[in-house]
């Protein structure tokens, strides 16, 4: 991998200071990544685990984003 993230430059996540709207938070993080000039700032890893704890990860590349409110578990319909 030619380019890596400088972990010394990363800030700690302060959950009290983040936007509770996941789409706004995602846009903020994407804007920050794009501002760095890094290669493929729209690339990400999605990691999940089965009920018995078996991890799985896949690499994703954001191609398109729709302006829509986010839903999910516990979100109102």
Helix (H) or strand (E) holding 55: strand 55-61
Coil/strand/helix, residue 47? strand
CA distance to 30, 38, 69, per residue, from 16 (Å): 20, 27, 21
Q: Is the dihedral of CA 46, 64, 69, 14 positive or negative?
A: positive
Q: Which residues, other chains included, contact 60 with Cβ-Cβ below 8 Å and sequence gap of 6+?
A: 43, 44, 45, 46
pTM comes to 0.54
Instruction: List pLDDT tens digits, range 23-74.
Output: 888 888 889 989 999 999 999 899 999 999 999 999 999 887 776 655 544 4
């Amino acid at each position: 991998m030619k380019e890596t993230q400088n972990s010394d430059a990363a800030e700690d996540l302060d959950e009290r200071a983040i936007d509770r709207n996941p789409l706004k938070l995602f846009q903020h993080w994407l804007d920050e990544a794009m501002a760095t000039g890094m290669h493929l700032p729209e690339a990400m890893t999605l990691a999940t685990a089965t009920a018995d704890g078996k991890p799985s990860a896949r690499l994703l590349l954001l191609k398109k984003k729709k302006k829509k409110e986010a839903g999910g578990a516990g979100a109102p319909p």
